[in-house]
Amino acid sequence: MKVLNRIRKGFYADSVALMRIARELQKDGMEASLMIGTPSNKALLKESGLLSKEGALARPDDLIIAVRGRKPGEALDLAERLLLSGVKSSESELPKTLAGANLALISVPGEFAAAEARKALERGLNVMVFSDNVPVADEVALKDYAIKRGLLMMGPDCGTALIAGTPIAFANAVPRGSIGIVSASGTGLQEVSTLLARDGKGVSHGIGVGGRDLSAAVGGRMTLAAMDALEADPATKRIIVISKPPSPSVTKKIVAKARQGRKPVVLCLLGSPELKLSSKVRLARTLEEAAGITSSKKIKVKATGSIRGLFCGGTLCAEAQVVLMDHGLTVSSNAPVPGAKSSGASHRLLDLGADEYTRGQPHPMIEPALRNEHIERALRDKSVGVVLLDLVIGYGAHADPARVIADVLRGFSKLPLIISSVTGTEKDPQVYSRQVKTLESAGVIVAPSNAAAARLAASAVKT
C-alpha cells in the first residue's frame, strides 16, 4: 500500500485534535498519523513506516500529514478539510476559556514550550504546560521565575487542573468547596476530586505541578509554592498533596512545609514509607483515604488465578499496587512503586498510559480502544482469574469509554472476574451513572473507588 505525506508549512494544531483527525481517517481502514515535524516525531513516523521523502524534509514548525492505504490522496484531502473545519466528533471538548483569564495553557511541541511559557509568565500570567519533553533545566528556570513573580508554573507534562472552579484539560465537573489539592498526578487529582464530589464535598483549587516537580532535580519547587498559595487562600480550609513518592530530600521539605502551616494537610505519597508527622499533618496510604472516603459497599467474590491490571491512569495503577501489596500479594508492574517485589510475581499491573505504550499514539483516556488488545489477551489467558480496570471520564476524555469495554467483553462467551472503578461525576459529559450501568450490564463489578476495586481483587484471589 502506498505511503503519502503532505506538509503544512508553519502550521500548529493541538495534539489531541490531531489524534482525533487521525482516528477519523482510520475509520476507512487507512493508517494515518498527524504530527508536528520535530526530529523525535519523524523518527516515530519512520519506525511506523509512515514517513516519505517529503515528510523527512519537514521542519519542527511544520505539520506532517502521513497516510498509508489504497486511496491515500483522498485521505490527505479529507485530513485537510478536517483541519480547516474541525473534527466532527462525539468526543467531549476541553474547556474553552476562563472568564477574566489570567492563565495560559501551553500545548506545543516540547522544543518550543519553554519559550512560550516564559512569554506568558513575563506578561503576568499563571501558566499550565501540557507539553512534555521539556528539559529539566528549563523547568527549573521557569519555576524559579514564576515563584519570583508570585505566579504558578504548572507542569511540564501537567494534564489536569481545577482553578477557581474551572476544569482545565483532563479534569472533571466537581463543585467548588473548601478543599485545596496539589498534585503531581493528573489521574490522582481526578480520583480524589471526584470522590470528594460524590461525597458532597467540593474543591477550592486543584493545582497540578507536573510529574517531575518532586524529583531531586526540580526540588518540589511548585509543590511548595502551591502549598503556600493554598495556605494563603481564604476559601481553602484543608490541603491534600498527591504524588508518587518524592525524592527523600523533597519529602523532608514537604513535611516541613505542612507542619509550618495553620491548615490541616493530608499527604498522599503513594508507596512512601511511614513518616513522623504532627497531629495536623497526616499520611494517607491511598487516594481514597486522602479524600476521607471509606467504601461501605461490601461484595464477596472468589476467583482462581492471577490478577491482571490494565490501567489508563499511572497513579491509579500505583495505588492498586499499594493496595495489593498491603494484602500480602507480590505484584510486578512496568511502573513499580517503592518496596514492590516482582520476583516470582503472578499478579501483574500495566500502566498503559506510560511512554512505551503511547509513543505516536493517543493516550488511552482519549482512545480507550488502544487497551482492547491487552484486555482480549487477558481474557484468553487461562491463568488470569481477575481483570482489574480503571475508567476515567471527564473533559477531554472519550465520550463513552464504558461502551468500548463492553463491546470487547461481548465477544467472549466465558469471562473471568472483571472489576473496575469509574473516576468521574454525574455532571461529567459522559455521566458517571451511565458509565457504571453500561459496565454492569456487560458483567463488570463496579467498585466505588479505584482502591476499593483493588481490595476486591485481592480478596477474590485470597479467599
pLDDT in tens, 402-426: 999 999 999 999 999 999 999 999 9
Question: What pLDDT score does 286 carry?
Answer: 95
Question: What pLDDT score does 272 carry?
Answer: 82
- The whole-chain average pLDDT of the chain stands at 89
Q: What is the mean pLDDT of residues 296-319?
A: 89
User: Are the C-beta atoms of residues 170 and 397 closer than 8 Å to each other?
Assistant: yes
Question: What pLDDT score does 381 carry?
Answer: 96
Largest CA distance in the chain: 67
Q: What is the pLDDT of residues 141-183, one digit of tens each?
A: 999 999 999 999 999 999 999 998 889 989 999 999 999 999 9
d(CA 361, CA 366): 10
∠ CA 342-345-349, rounded to 5°:
75
Q: What is the mean pLDDT of residues 112-137?
A: 92
For residues 274 and 155, which has the higher predicted lDDT (pLDDT)? 155
- Please, how many CA atoms are within 13 Å of residue 407, restricted to the half-sphere of its CB? 10
Please name which of 179, 165, 252, 254 lies closest in space to residue 209, comparing C-alpha atoms: 254
Name the β-bridge partners of 423. Answer: 392
d(CA 214, CA 217): 8
Stated pTM of the model? 0.84
Q: How confident is the model at residue 15 (pLDDT cuts 50, 70, 90)?
A: low
Question: What pLDDT score does 91 carry?
Answer: 40
Confidence check: pLDDT of 273 > 70: yes
Please name which of 104, 113, 87 lies closest in space to residue 20, comparing C-alpha atoms: 87
Share of the chain above pLDDT 70, in %: 94
Confidence check: pLDDT of 96 > 80: no
Please name the residue that has the C-alpha cell 454492569. 440
Confidence check: pLDDT of 259 > 50: yes
Please name the residue that has the C-alpha cell 456487560. 442
- Please, how many CA atoms are within 13 Å of residue 445, restricted to the half-sphere of its CB? 23
- Please, how many CA atoms are within 13 Å of residue 412, restricted to the half-sphere of its CB? 19
In sequence order, what DSSP letters do the residues of 324-384 get, joined into one string?
A: HHHTT--EEESSPPTT---TT--EEEEETTSHHHHTTS--TTT-GGGGHHHHHHHHH-TTE
Confidence check: pLDDT of 6 > 50: yes
Q: What is the mean pLDDT of residues 184-190?
A: 95
Query: H or E element: which one contains 121?
Result: helix 110-122
Q: What is the mean pLDDT of residues 206-233?
A: 96
Cell numbers placing 327 = 494484602
In sequence order, what DSSP letters do the residues of 408-453 get, joined into one string?
A: HHTT-SS--EEEEE-B--TTSTT-HHHHHHHHHHTTPEEESSHHHH
Cell numbers placing 188 = 490522582
Q: How confident is the model at residue 92 (pLDDT cuts 50, 70, 90)?
A: very low
Confidence check: pLDDT of 88 > 50: no
Question: What pLDDT score does 98 carry?
Answer: 37
Confidence check: pLDDT of 89 > 70: no
Q: What is the mean pLDDT of residues 302-323?
A: 95
Question: What pLDDT score does 444 carry?
Answer: 97
Q: What is the mean pLDDT of residues 47-62?
A: 89
Domains of the chain and CATH, by start: 2-85 (3.30.70), 103-290 (3.40.50.261), 306-462 (3.40.50.261)
Q: How confident is the model at residue 93 (pLDDT cuts 50, 70, 90)?
A: very low
Question: What pLDDT score does 297 carry?
Answer: 64
| Neighbour count for residue 383 (Cβ, 10 Å) | 11
Confidence check: pLDDT of 367 > 90: no
